Copies of this chain bind each other. A is one copy, B any other.
Amino acid sequence: MPETRTRRSLPEQLLLLIDLGRWIPIAALVGILAGSASALLLVSLNYATAMREQHVWLILLLAPAGWVMAQMYRRFGASVEAGNNLVLEQTHNPTAVIPVRMTPLILIGTFITHLFGGSAGREGTAIQTGASLADQLSRPLGLAPHERRILLMAGISAGFASVFGTPLAGAVFGIEVLAIGTLSYDAIAPCFMAAFVGDLVTRAWHVQHKIYRVSETPAMSITGVGYSMIAGAAFGLAGMGFARLTHAIARTAKKHIPNPTLRPVVGGFIVTTAVFAIGTTYTLKYLGLGIPTIVASFNSKLPVYDFAAKGLFTAITLGTGFKGGEVTPLFYIGSTLGNALSHIIPLPSSLLAAMGFVAVFAGAANTPIASTLMAVELFGAEAGAYAGIACVLSYLFSGHTGIYNAQRVGRTKH
């Protein structure tokens, strides 16, 4: 938090009180805005998912819907198309306030993606709504660039916390996601405040979060540590594979389809064709958020290829320009990969699903501590210990590129 020269003479705690007296209301306001946007997002996604499940023919319209979405971004959203990377870029180097239109555009884009059967997440949307709404306070409050940076971090924290119902993970995510390998605490209080308020506001809008249950967690043992490390390495390679595949598809699409409004059309066409050519019995589970499959990965044995199929559907969806984000698909990839690993790693499959849920994300987003906190918040401290080891190993094995191109390398991993 800022410190001006004239205030240097005051005792440290008084300066802090002045700073907090200013930042707490701002962070609370960020939390209210981001939490409300997340509530709207979650309600709209529930609606979109229910509609798509009832009317499977909607998936036939994914290609034209992609065209509409791309037209919408072309006409109104050129300045905010970069999405999460714009948010991270502005947080690193605050130059211009993020246009408020980012919020409606990403909400509509995500709704379209999910209604018509794209495979995508929602954290990207929550981060963008949280950060862009937060940033609107910059001008009225007359914030300096380094204060805008704190505001954006609080917006990221509030968006993440509220969309997943995990305030501790959200608070730390906002300070951890900016750089690989380091973490600094200068925005820690606004991030915590915004994250907790954001989560409470989403819940106050009567939005419920899914509860996942780990049916069995053995007492930690030296073999448990070893198995968690091996699983973590696998989760990290999966996270890296997914990030690279998505980037590769995006690069290929850019190269071969110069017209950006046509890219989601092609992507939508590929997804639709794959869904109906392979058969909806097998493929519907890979569309949208995929929550039922994530739940199933905690309760029953699933096909071992589910994680790869989900990764492919998501990489095509997001790599060709659909909206929503990567994180819920990463949860899906991780929990189904964990489920699959239970064939060869002698840990309970629901525990491996929980470990994968957070650890593939930890590797792909390079956020091992936020992911460990998320495990603790969602699955409890016992499973969180296994997950923590897996998150660290996944983080190490996922390489130096992740799902966010604008993330910087603060310190190499090894």
Query: Which residues on A are within 8 Å of B, measured CB to CB?
Result: 1-3, 12-13, 15-16, 19-20, 24, 167-168, 171-172, 181-186, 188-189, 192-193, 196-197, 199-200, 220-222, 225, 229, 237, 368-369, 372-373, 376-377, 380-381, 384-385, 388-389, 392-393, 395-397, 399-400, 410-414
Protomer copies: 2
Q: In the bound complex, what is the Cα–Cα distance between A397 and B237 (angstroms)?
A: 41
Q: A168-B384, A368-B188 are in contact. Are A399 and B12 (CB under 8 A)?
A: yes
Partner of A184, one of B16, B167, B182: B182
**Closest residue of B by beta carbon distance from A200:** B222
Minimal beta-carbon separation of A414 from chain B (angstroms): 4
Q: In the bound complex, what is the Cα–Cα distance between A410 and B184 (angstroms)?
A: 8
A16, A19, A399 pick with most chain B CB within 10 angstroms: A16
Minimal beta-carbon separation of A399 from chain B (angstroms): 5
Minimal beta-carbon separation of A316 from chain B (angstroms): 25
Contact call B220/A196, Cβ cutoff below 8 A: yes
Q: In the bound complex, what is the Cα–Cα distance between A34 and B397 (angstroms)?
A: 27
**Which residues from B are CB-within-8-Å of A172?**
369
Q: A237-B13, A381-B380, A389-B196 are in contact. Are A396 and B221 (CB under 8 A)?
A: no
Q: In the bound complex, what is the Cα–Cα distance between A96 and B44 (angstroms)?
A: 62
Q: A183-B183, A185-B395 are in contact. Are A414 and B3 (CB under 8 A)?
A: yes
**Which residues from B are CB-within-8-Å of A186?**
181, 411-414
Q: A13-B397, A186-B181, A376-B384 are in contact. Are A192 and B411 (CB under 8 A)?
A: no
**6 closest cross-chain pairs (CB), A and B:** A1-B414, A183-B183, A182-B184, A181-B185, A376-B376, A196-B225
Q: In the bound complex, what is the Cα–Cα distance between A56 and B105 (angstroms)?
A: 73
**Closest residue of B by beta carbon distance from A240:** B13
**Which residues from B are CB-within-8-Å of A221?**
200
